[in-house]
């Protein structure tokens, strides 16, 4: 059987005749008749009693009609999706490092949810290499990474903002530059973090000893440790902007010909859903106002 045959059957029951059903469906009456014949051949029994010029559901036809109604209602819902695909809906899975999630995306998320409250946003905070892997396997729809831009076969990257980075020093640090200070630890983000590798390379080139280390995945924890004079670190400037302005911390700006950028990354074969496209649009608009 085919859906169109069941649609014809339902319309015959509701219109009371083959002819009226054919008119409503814009079919030839012979087509409607052949649809009913196909149903009866499938079940091996009639669904209508033909009483003179009238057709009346028999007992089996009544059972069939009751079961056809929910099936066709579900079919109508499926067809209605055609008119909904332009509207953001469903679930959006986004990977974001902690600093970007906390200090860049809040206004974007607020505006997005005000416009599209029906979209469920699943945020995953992790290191960039892991999120790239999740994009490749399809576990994330997109990621907003904080990293140097790299060319990859399977992923597409769209840089939206060059994130200022800096070496952060406690207010009590004994110099204006990095030195071997026995009382100050090196405060690292977790292994695999994109800008931890930059910090490690910087320390090595400047001959700074790294035997005294504290490692944590949280930039907020690192900031508190900096305020407690525990050590030095390398962070996005936006993370410590308020503390720098208040004079509670000090910073050495970092510049490079290969800077760290906020970038939108997704699989090259990923369908850009309306929900995803709108998030990208709002993020790009917001990034124009970032400092």
What is the average per-residue pLDDT within 181-208? Answer: 95
Q: Domains in the chain, please, with CATH?
A: 3-83 (1.10.10.10), 91-163+260-287 (3.40.190.10), 165-254 (3.40.190.10)
When pLDDT is cut at 50, 70 and 90, the band that residue 53 belongs to is confident
**Contacts by 170-175 with C-beta closer than 8 Å and gap 24+?**
170/226, 170/227, 170/228, 170/229, 170/230, 170/231, 170/232, 170/249, 170/250, 171/229, 171/247, 171/248, 171/249, 171/250, 172/229, 173/229, 173/232, 173/250
Sign of the CA dihedral running 282, 283, 288, 290 = positive
Residue with tokens 């469906």: 25
Q: What is the pLDDT of residue 83?
A: 64
Min mean pLDDT across 48-52, 84-88, 95-99, 156-160 is at 84-88
What is the share, in percent, of the chain residues with pLDDT greater than 70? 98
CA–CA separation, 250 and 246 (whole Å): 10
Q: What is the pLDDT of residue 259?
A: 95
Q: What is the pLDDT of residue 125?
A: 92
H-type helices in the chain, by residue range?
A: 3-15, 18-25, 29-43, 59-80, 98-103, 106-115, 128-137, 194-205, 219-227, 241-245, 274-287
CA–CA separation, 142 and 265 (whole Å): 6
Q: What is the pLDDT of residue 209?
A: 93
Q: In what order do the strands lie in the sheet with 165-170?
A: 213-215, 185-188, 231-236, 165-170, 249-254
Q: What are the phi and psi torsion angles at 176 (to 5°)?
A: -90, -5
Residue 129, token pair as written in the block: 């290499």
pLDDT in tens, 275-288: 999 999 999 999 99
Q: With beta carbons less than 8 A apart as the criterion, state whether 40 and 52 touch.
A: no
When pLDDT is cut at 50, 70 and 90, the band that residue 84 belongs to is low
Residue with tokens 């699989």: 267
pLDDT in tens, 89-111: 889 999 999 999 999 999 999 99
pTM of the model as a whole: 0.74
Q: What is the pLDDT of residue 85?
A: 60
pLDDT in tens, 3-17: 999 999 999 998 888
Element housing 260 (H / E): none
pLDDT in tens, 224-249: 999 999 999 999 999 999 999 999 99
Residue with tokens 């005000």: 114
Element housing 117 (H / E): none
């Amino acid at each position: 059987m085919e859906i169109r045959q069941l649609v014809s059957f339902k319309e015959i029951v509701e219109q009371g005749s083959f002819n009226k059903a054919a008119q409503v469906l814009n079919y030839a009456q012979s087509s409607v008749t052949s649809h009913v014949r196909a149903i009866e051949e499938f079940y091996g029994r009639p669904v209508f009693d033909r009483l003179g010029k009238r057709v009346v559901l028999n007992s089996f036809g009544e059972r069939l009609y009751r079961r056809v109604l929910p099936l066709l209602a579900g079919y109508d819902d499926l067809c209605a999706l055609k008119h909904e695909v332009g509207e953001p809906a469903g679930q959006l899975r986004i990977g974001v490092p902690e600093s970007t999630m906390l200090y860049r995306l809040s206004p974007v998320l607020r505006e997005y949810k005000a416009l599209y409250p029906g979209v469920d946003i699943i945020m995953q905070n992790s290191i960039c290499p892991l999120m790239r892997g999740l994009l490749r396997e399809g576990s994330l729809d997109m990621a907003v990474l904080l990293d140097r831009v790299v060319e990859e076969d399977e992923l597409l990257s769209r840089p939206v903002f060059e994130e200022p980075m800096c070496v952060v020093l406690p207010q009590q640090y004994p110099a204006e530059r990095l030195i071997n200070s026995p009382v100050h630890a090196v405060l690292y983000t977790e292994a695999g973090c994109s800008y931890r590798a930059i910090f490690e390379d910087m320390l090595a080139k400047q001959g700074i000893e790294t035997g005294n280390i504290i490692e944590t995945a949280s930039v907020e924890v690192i900031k508190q440790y900096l305020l407690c004079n525990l050590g030095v670190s390398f962070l996005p400037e936006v993370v410590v902007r308020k503390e720098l302005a208040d004079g509670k911390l000090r910073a050495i700006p970092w510049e490079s010909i290969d800077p760290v950028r906020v970038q939108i990354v997704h699989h090259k074969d990923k369908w850009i859903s309306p929900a995803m496209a709108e998030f990208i649009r709002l993020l790009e608009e917001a990034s124009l106002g970032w400092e």
